[in-house]
Amino acid sequence: MEHLVNNTKLSSTERTVIEYIITNIDKLENMTIKKICNQLNVSESLITKSCKKVDFSGFKDLKDHLLNQYYYKKEKNLKEDFYDNLFSDLKLTHNIIDQDLIAKIASQLCENNNKIIIFATGKTKIIASYFYFTLLEYGFNVEMVSSLYAEKGFETNNAIIFALSISGNNSKIDRYLNIINQFKKYKMIVGVTSTPNFISKNNVNFHIYGNIRKYFSSDQRANPFVEKYVLMYLIDNILLNIFEKLKYDNKVVFGNSKSKNFI
């Protein structure tokens, strides 16, 4: 865009017009010739003349060209930021994971014939479904719950409960854990979140978390792109530890579990 401003055909006033348009590109979509005239105290003909001197038919032609470049660059930057954040957060999450804690939880899952309850809501249910299905394949007695009104979610006698949340700020999980903590019939509760912040931290025995420090940054609340991968990475770590434990105890052969914890 600098080549437009530095065009030698432009007079000082014309250069000011082009410079103003480019400098305010984030407002260009709603910009009109009339608004530029009022802002710079110039005539409409001067604006048109300025645009023609930089090889455009008029203001609309220049505007369309600049907006196409702007949105292309913005989209490119968004993708680059996504990959940068993804690799960075996964690496930092890997560095802070408490592997000893995960190994301890995996050991308890494999050694004791406890029922497993997975509680998750919203988009986190997609990741929870993968966790649920893999545990079923390993031969565990597991239930997945996403509603506060599901009776099976409260059949917690000697159960190991996993509360999964991408954000760590799930009010349904908090209500669920508050209720089951009144009876304390469970074996243990494990919270798994992509962020260290977890509103239900006081209601769990163990908290496994990722490195996401700013919940749904860059307007990603509706589509938590990086956050979901961090939670998935944590779940995979748990599953790998379970698999290794079953394999070590000769309870799994070629991925088919022979765990005593059968359905």
User: Domain with 137 in it: what CATH number?
Assistant: 3.40.50.10490
Alpha helices, DSSP H, located in 112-190: 124-137, 171-180
| DSSP three-state, residue 192 | strand
The rounded percent of the chain whose pLDDT value lies above 70 is 84
Residue 85 lies in a domain: no
Choice between 68 and 159, residue whose per-residue pLDDT is larger: 159
pLDDT, residue 222, reads 47
Q: Based on the fold, state whether residues 116 and 246 are members of the same structural domain.
A: yes
In a domain, 87, yes or no: no
pLDDT score for 29: 86
Residue that finishes a domain, picked among 76, 106, 129? 76
The verdict on 62 and 102 lying in the same domain is: no
125 inside domain:
yes
| Residue 68 sits in the same domain as residue 170 | no
Residues 143 and 201 in one domain: yes
With a CB cutoff of 8 Å and minimum separation 6, the contacts of 176 are 119, 145, 148, 153, 163
Are 106 and 21 in a shared domain? no
Give the structural domain span for 35: 2-76
Do 36 and 111 lie in a common domain? no
Pair 135, 22 in one domain: no
CATH classification of the domain holding 16: 1.10.10.10
Are 22 and 127 contained in the same domain?
Answer: no
- Residue 97 near residue 232, CB atoms below 8 Å: no
Lowest-confidence pick of 54-63, 107-116, 218-227: 218-227
* Lowest mean pLDDT across 64-78, 146-160, 180-194, 249-263: 249-263
Distance CA 128, CA 143 (A): 11
Residue 263 lies in a domain: no
Domain final residue pick, 41, 76, 111: 76
Q: How many domains does the chain have?
A: 2
Query: 191 has which bridge partners?
Result: 163, 207
